[in-house]
Structures are given as C-alpha cells and as structure tokens.
Amino acid sequence: MTAGRRITHASSTKRRIRRYRLQLWVDLPEKLKGCEPRYRDLRKGEILIVKPSDKVEIKVISGESDGVKSLQDLAYTPVWMIDATIKPGGFISQPLPEGWNAFAYVLDGDLLCGTTVAKQYSNIVFDRDGDGVEMSVPDNYEKNVRVVIVAGQVLDQEVVQYGPFVAVSKEKIYDAVMDFQNAANGFERARNWESKIAKMIR
C-alpha cells in the first residue's frame, strides 16, 4: 500500500493457522509524498521461487536473487525483500545494491552471518559499504532457518513521525494532523469512514 497524499485503512488476518505477519514502512521521496494513494495485492502465484541448491529456497518478493527478478513497479521507492529458507548445511550469498540500507530478520531458527549468530525474532543490520551478504546454517543444526532480507534505497531527507503520520518536517506533520481532523486535503472521505474489520471484531 502506498499512502501517498493520505489514506485511511484497516487490515486483519484470520488466525486459522500459524503464520507470520510482517509490516514494513518505507519512506517516500519528498517529491512523491503527494502522489495518489494505491494498493496492490501480490498473490502467491506472482512470487517467484528460486532454489540455488537443494538446501536453499528463496522467494523473491521484491528485487532479485540468483538471476530471478520479481515483478516490477510494486513500490515508488526501490525496495528488495527476499524470503529465504535454509536447511542445515545450507549457505546463501545474496547480492544487494551498493550503498543501500539493508537488514535481515530471522523468523525461524538461529542463523550464522559471518561471526554473528542471530536468534529467532532478531535483526542483523548490515553496513552500506558491501555489495551483498552471506549466511549459513551449520550442518549439525536440527531444523531449517527462515530469514527475510530487506534492502532499500537511502533517501537524503529528514524523517519526522507522529502516530501514523510521516513527513519531512514538524510543520508538515502539523498540517497532516489538522487535515485529518478537518477531513481535508486527502482525508475528505475519512470523516464518515468506519472500518468493517472493526465491526467484525466487536
């Protein structure tokens, strides 16, 4: 979802099976903050899968891995998201665009990245001076490891956040809050909007 010049929304997931829900907020370049809001589902069949070895499976949600590219134009700000499952004894070498911010988030198991061991539900934040990352799972480890690698273009601008509002200055935050309260400048339809999801939960 691209909020652009402002959007009001709600979301929920039915809890029938164990699943992960990751939410990633990506800043827009200042010149695009006034763009029209948009939403796009990425269906399971649209996510390409690559298997560099019999011990590694990679879902290319956004970006590129092992020569496989994701669907394009998913977001205005270039972002890569790679979902990798590594079996014991497995190893991945994932190139990343030079100079981008990048981190990995471990969903399952313990991951070895260089000399760093990342436990489940922890981050590894990478330096910008490289062109990729390498990760492995020891042969004697008892289960598969699942990790999400995220990389994004660096924006040279201020980030000011207040609640759900993100802008490049305090003045623009004040403007956004006032517009929300007055249902103006992108929030016109928010005045009488009510979440259907909230009704279901109640």
For residue range 142-160, list pLDDT tens digits in order.
Answer: 899 999 999 999 998 999 9
Range of the domain at 11: 1-39+158-202
Same domain (yes/no): 50, 119: yes
CA distance 83 to 146: 7
Q: Are residues 53 and 131 in the same domain?
A: yes
Q: Does one domain contain both 136 and 62?
A: yes
pLDDT digits (tens, 9 = 90+) for 25-47: 888 899 988 888 888 888 899 99
- Tens digit of each residue's pLDDT (9 = 90 or more) over 161-185: 998 888 999 999 999 999 888 888 8
Q: What is the mean pLDDT of residues 62-88?
A: 90
Q: How many domains does the chain have?
A: 2
Q: How confident is the model at residue 6 (pLDDT cuts 50, 70, 90)?
A: confident
SS3 labels along the chain: CECCCCCCCCCCCCCCCCCCCCCCCCCCCHHHCCCCCECCCCCHHHCEEEEEECCEEEEEEECEECCEECCCCCCCCCEEEEEEEECCCCEEEEECCCCCEEEEEEEECCEEECCEEECCCCEEEECCCCCEEEEECCCCCCCCEEEEEEEECCCCCCCEEECCEEECCHHHHHHHHHHHHHCCCCCHHHCCCCCHHHHHHC
Segment 93-103, tens digit of pLDDT: 999 999 999 99
Asked if residue 192 and residue 147 are part of one domain, the reply reads no
118 and 170, same domain (yes or no): no
> Is the same domain home to 5 and 34?
yes
Identify the CA nearest to 94 among candidates 151, 45, 143, 144: 151
Question: Cα separation of 111 and 27, whole Å?
Answer: 28
Residues 92 and 106 in one domain: yes
46 and 20 share a domain? no
Q: What is the CATH number of the domain that holds 172?
A: 2.60.120.10
The residue among 50 and 23 whose pLDDT is bigger is 50
pLDDT at 90 over 90: yes
Which one of 110, 130, 152 terminates a domain? 152
Q: What is the pLDDT of residue 16?
A: 61
148/63 same-domain check: yes
Same domain as 181, residue 145 = no
Q: Are residues 91 and 184 in the same domain?
A: no
Q: Which of 152, 175, 192 is the last residue of a domain?
A: 152
Q: Count other C-beta atoms under 10 Å from residue 18's C-beta.
A: 5
Instruction: Name the residue with tokens 């040279």.
Output: 156
| 202 contacts 195 by C-beta, under 8 angstroms | no
Is the Cα torsion angle 156, 2, 58, 123 positive or negative in sign? positive
Q: Are residues 195 and 129 in the same domain?
A: no
